[in-house]
Structures are given as C-alpha cells and as structure tokens.
Amino acid sequence: MLPPVRKFVFTLAAAAAMQFALGGAAPVLAAQTPPAKTVQAKKAVKTAVKKTSTAKASAKRAAAKTPQKARAVKTSLQKKSVRRVKQRRAGMSPSQATLAGLRKTEDPLMLGSSVAYAVDQDTGEELVVKNADVPLPIASVTKLMTALVIAESELPLNEKLRVTREDYVRSTASSKLRSGMRVTRGALLQAALMSSDNRAAHALARTYPGGKRALVARMNERARELGMSDSAFTDPTGLDNGNHSTARDLSRLVAAVYEHQEIRSASTQPFATITAGKRRVNLSTTNRLIGDPSWRIGIQKTGFTTAAGRCMVVQSDVGERRLVMVVLDSPNNAQRANDMRTMRAYVEGEAEFRRGFEETIPYEIF
C-alpha cells in the first residue's frame, strides 16, 4: 500500500492550534498600527515636499531652451506626477486580508501571499491550502465570471459593439478603448481577460440582454450553480470591492471557464492586436508567467485593487497533473508570480518523491 502523497495544509486555525500546543499565543489577527504623527508634522512634511517638487519642476522647465524640449519635460513631469498619485493611492491603506492579519500566517512554503491554494483539477485532491476559505475581494479576477456568463449566453462573438462614454468606469487603470470605437464581442472578451481592460468588461455587460444588471444577476446565479457558496458579485469589472470570493470557490470557477476554448485562447496570449474600425489596438498580458516556456497555462487572470492586493489564478499542467492554483493578497506582482512558482515546485517535488518511493519497493507488494 503506497503511503499517501504528502500534502501541505496550513490554515490559520492550524497555526493557532500548533502555537497553543507549544505554549505560545495564537496568531494575532489585528494589524499593528504605527503611532500616529502629529498634524503639525504632517503639514510640515507635505509643505516641504510640495516646495521641493515645485522647485525641481521649475528648474527643469527653465533648462528647456526649445519648445520641443519644453513639451518633453512637461510630459515627463506629468507622467511622474500620475505615477506618484497611483503609488500614494495604492499605499494609502492596507488590503482587507492584511488588516485581518492573514499575511502574518506562517506556512512551510514561506509564501508571501495571504491566501494560497493548489488543487488537482481532475481528482479534487488539495495540495496547498492557506486561508483558502476566507472570503476576500478578488479585483479583476471577477472578469472570469463575466467571461463565463458571456460565453454561455451564446451571443455571437463576431458581432460588432460600440464603445460608449458609459463604459468609462472610474479607475486608475488605463484603457486603449475610446468612445465610438466599434469592436467585436470576441475582441472585447480578449481585452477584458488578457489586458484586464475595464471598459471592455463594462461594454460586454452593457450589451448583454437586459444590460449590466441582468448580467450581474446571472453571475451570482452561476456562482450558486457552481457551488461557490462564499462568493458574491456586484459588478462585471471587479472594481467594486463587493465582488468577493474564496480561493476554494475560485478553483471551481477556473475549472468551469476552462471548458470554453474562447476563454482559454483569450486569456493566455502574451500579445494580440484587435481591430476597432480603421484603427488597430495592441494588447499585452498582465501576467508575467505567460510566455514562460516552462509553464503550460490553460487559464489565467490577474487582479489588483487596494482592498484586494495582488491576485492571480492559474490553470496549468504540472507533470502528470492538471492543477488550479490561486493566490490572493500578494504584496506585489513579483511575489504573486513567485508564490505560483513555489507551489508548482512543491507539487513537482511531491511527484518525484512518489516515483522514487515506488522504484524502491519490490513489485510483489503492489
């Protein structure tokens, strides 16, 4: 009889039980808040930073002797300003998982994400479990459910749809789609999944029979049908933090969308060009694992909001297994990709261990 394949199952409850057994305290869920600075100190720092930035900008503009250089300097300063605003907004408040203390959860793989989950797509065997049942915001991973509803609606993917001002949802993320562009439903699906384009996702919802409200209702109905009991959807883009799910629920969603070839193709290309009237729009993926020849990815989706942190779901062949892997609330893009690599390496190591064990056992035992 073969020993069962080792599994790594480390939840917050397990961590608490282990520490209690060793005489230690249970993990602290409340995030530690640094001492608040005085109002005067904040104002002084803000004023100093503003003066410094203004002086630097003035000096650079003065150094520009030609109109072309002046425009280049102005553009550079504007880009830096936008980048600083985005960075400040991203760091204004921690994610919901971080506030709950989930990022402090220790695990044998030393993953940096608050939530991690890896499951065999065919057998349901759970291989990595870390806070997998905690409902959290999922950001643009929401677009997978939007895509599933569109794919199952059997609406023609070659039908041309017009992007309107209504699709200009409030977001710091950029979009290459402009009001008035006529784009096929299939191209919008690709932009929503591959480049995580919010206008594309909104346009898909707006043109769904019954509109956005009907599509969101169907998203929630489909979640119940899939057994995603800890999930809810409030908009098609993921910008609303009312969109929440668990890692275990998301694995069910990934398995469902994997059945649709159009979703697999739309989500896994590193680059693509779509036609919008007479214009051509270039798209690129938001997932750094796409294009890596060592990965065989069938489905992927990334996501980010301040409340959700960096998220990623991936379906991939690993050895002889088909795996679904989920990470939620990673501190940065590099960490979420590294956590995926770590989980894959762990599963590959388990397979090597099993093969080595079988080779050392006499055949008659089986």
50 assigned to active site: no
Global pTM reads: 0.73
Q: Which of these is catalytic: 113, 130, 143, 245? A: 143
* Beta strand residue intervals within 210-289, DSSP E: 244-245, 271-276, 279-284
Question: Residue 295, Cβ neighbours under 10 Å: how many?
Answer: 18
Could you tell me where the DSSP H helices lie in 239-361?
247-257, 261-268, 333-360
**pLDDT confidence of residue 143:** 98
As a whole number of angstroms, the distance between CA 195 and CA 176 comes to 10
Residue ranges covered by each domain of the chain: 105-356
Q: Which of these is catalytic: 175, 196, 245, 330? A: 196
As a whole number of angstroms, the distance between CA 155 and CA 186 comes to 10
140 assigned to active site: yes
196 assigned to active site: yes
Contacts of 207 by beta carbon, 8 Å cutoff, 6+ apart = 161, 185
Question: Residue 346, Cβ neighbours under 10 Å: how many?
Answer: 20
User: Which superfamily does CATH assign the domain made up of 105-356 to?
Assistant: DD-peptidase/beta-lactamase superfamily (3.40.710.10)
User: Residue written as tokens 């762990």?
Assistant: 346
pLDDT digits (tens), the chain, 366 positions: 444 444 444 444 444 444 444 444 333 333 333 444 445 655 654 665 565 566 666 656 655 556 666 666 666 666 666 655 555 554 458 999 999 999 999 999 999 999 999 999 999 999 999 999 999 999 999 999 999 999 999 999 999 999 999 999 988 888 889 999 999 999 999 999 999 999 999 999 999 999 999 999 999 999 999 999 999 999 999 999 999 999 999 999 999 999 999 999 999 999 999 988 888 999 899 898 998 889 999 999 999 999 999 999 999 999 889 999 999 999 999 999 999 999 999 999 876 655 554 454 443 433
Q: Which of these is catalytic: 114, 140, 251, 316? A: 140
As a whole number of angstroms, the distance between CA 212 and CA 205 comes to 5
